[in-house]
Amino acid sequence: KIVLGIETSCDDTAAAVVDETGNVLGEAIHSQTEVHLKTGGIIPPVAQQLHRENIQRIVQEALSSSRIPPSELSAIATTIKPGLALSLGVGLSFSVQLVNQLKKPFIPIHHMEAHALTIRLTNQVEFPFLVLLISGGHCLLAIARGVSDFLLLGKSLDIAPGDMLDKIARRLSLIKHPECSGMSGGKAIEHLAKQGNRFHFDISPPMDRVKNCDFSFSGLQHVIERIIVQKEKKEGIEKGQVLSSAADIAAAVQHTAACHLAKRTHRAILFCKQRELLPQSNAVLVVSGGVASNCYIRRALETVTDATQCTLLCPPPRLCTDNGIMIAWNGIERLRAGLGILHDVEGIRYEPKCSLGIDISKEVG
Ligand code: ATP
Ligand code: FE
């Protein structure tokens, strides 16, 4: 079995060809990050236009580097939910055309399911396992019980941690910091935090009294922004210049976010063990998404998995962020399980909003 995967849910146009054993036969990606960095965020019609300009070439590159003739593909898998409507639309209409032209089955993909299952391409991980997805666009904790069988334990009630870190980095003007050029907001914070003192500011983790597995990052963002305003006044500098206390602020925000993520994850593990939703020993916690590459956050999560006899696994960074390989692999998983394979694409729609699995967050306490 060989699947072509296509991803356009956000700001990456990506495609890959993957076989049944997880061999990546071909791949290509076009990132729009540079364009969106200049505008300070994604402008959906701009993202749509860039997807349109690149999708044909990216899919062609993935196919030709795989040396697999299109006739040998078993199916085409494409992200149809959740994501930016205009971006999802480009991937879906391109795929519908290709499916009709090549007369292949179509496998609609849930973007979060694909992130969650990526670990099964790189490691031998059996269901059930716990998964924490932390990126610029999402933040959730779920139990993966099967290829398309998830229980949602909690999610962010406002923004995702990567989004919060990006906003703080922008507010701190880290782009202008000589040591942080070309880094994403999260990476710049991680870099600068190494030189800072996380105890300089005393910030309590978000939602400390709320005993569930939901997350919140916008309150923390506002607390940090207030500190920045105070420091700017104190240091007598203009908005837009880099503060001398930027490193301490970076360390504090990273530490507080790490504590929050670790505490929620700890609660989720205890809940799962108590309900026998995960094995009592050697349960697996998978952490993925762009923020998973943060070593400080990873170490905080490791103290949780060590204390609960769990194993922490992360896909390699290039598979943690959006890519075509995870979509193709999700297609392979679905083909093997015989789930959600369409032979008629008439009437298929994308869904900008779509949660992952069954929401049991109200039961977690
Ligand atoms: P999606 O949410 O749809 O997966 P995205 O582009 O928002 O897409 P990713 O590509 O997975 O998210 O990751 C990008 C995010 O990860 C950015 O918010 C970035 O700041 C953050 N990030 C990257 N490296 C680090 C790091 N070392 N520490 C913390 N955050 C990081
Ligand atoms: Fe993603």
Q: How far is the CA of 230 from the centre of ligand 1 (A)?
A: 28
Q: How far is the CA of 301 from the centre of ligand 2 (A)?
A: 20
pLDDT per position as a tens digit, 217-232: 999 999 999 999 999 9
- Residue 304: name the closest of 266, 333, 274 by CA: 266
- Contacts for 147 with CB less than 8 Å, ≥ 6 apart: 113, 117, 333, 334, 336, 337, 339
Nearest atom in ligand 1 to 185's CA? 20
The band of 35, judged by pLDDT with boundaries at 50, 70 and 90, is confident
- Contacts for 230 with CB less than 8 Å, ≥ 6 apart: none
pLDDT over 90 for what percent of the chain?
92
- From the CA of 291, the nearest ligand is 1
Top mutation candidate among 88, 112, 135 for ligand 1, by most atoms within 8 Å of CB: 135
Residue 240 has pLDDT above 90, yes or no: no
Q: What is the pLDDT of residue 143?
A: 98
Residue 40 has pLDDT above 80, yes or no: no
CA-proximal residue: ligand 1, atom 30 (nearest):
186
- Which residues form ligand 1's pocket by a CB distance below 6 Å? 10, 135-138, 162-163, 165-166, 184-187, 190, 289-291, 293-294, 321-322
- From the CA of 111, the nearest ligand is 2
Contact assessment for residue 18 and residue 24, using Cβ atoms and an 8 Å cutoff: yes
Residue 238 has pLDDT above 90, yes or no: no
Q: What is the pLDDT of residue 123?
A: 97
Task: Read off the tokens for 195.
Answer: 């030189």
Nearest atom in ligand 1 to 9's CA? 3
The band of 188, judged by pLDDT with boundaries at 50, 70 and 90, is very high
Q: How far is the CA of 73 from the centre of ligand 1 (A)?
A: 32
Return the H-helix or E-strand segment holding 107.
strand 106-110
- From the CA of 180, the nearest ligand is 1
Contact assessment for residue 241 and residue 173, using Cβ atoms and an 8 Å cutoff: yes
CA-proximal residue: ligand 1, atom 5 (nearest):
136
Q: What is the mean pLDDT of residues 60-88?
A: 98
Q: What is the mean pLDDT of residues 107-123?
A: 98
Contact assessment for residue 6 and residue 15, using Cβ atoms and an 8 Å cutoff: yes
Bridge partners of 30, per DSSP, are 13
pLDDT per position as a tens digit, 278-332: 999 899 999 999 999 999 999 999 999 999 999 999 999 999 999 999 999 999 9
Confidence check on the interface: ipTM exceeds 0.95, yes or no: yes
Contact assessment for residue 217 and residue 206, using Cβ atoms and an 8 Å cutoff: yes
Nearest atom in ligand 1 to 296's CA? 28
- Residue 18: name the closest of 8, 6, 29 by CA: 6
Q: What is the mean pLDDT of residues 350-363?
A: 96
- Residue 296: name the closest of 332, 260, 349 by CA: 260
CA-proximal residue: ligand 1, atom 16 (nearest):
290
pLDDT per position as a tens digit, 122-154: 999 999 999 999 999 999 999 999 999 999 999
Q: CA-based diameter of the chain, in Å?
A: 67
Nearest atom in ligand 1 to 166's CA? 20
Q: What is the pLDDT of residue 176?
A: 85
Top mutation candidate among 35, 81, 140, 165 for ligand 1, by most atoms within 8 Å of CB: 165
Task: Read off the tokens for 14.
Answer: 């990506």
Dihedral (CA of 138, 266, 365, 277) sign: positive
Q: What is the pLDDT of residue 175?
A: 82
* Whether residue 206 has a cis bond before it, omega within 30° of 0: no
Residue 237 has pLDDT above 90, yes or no: no
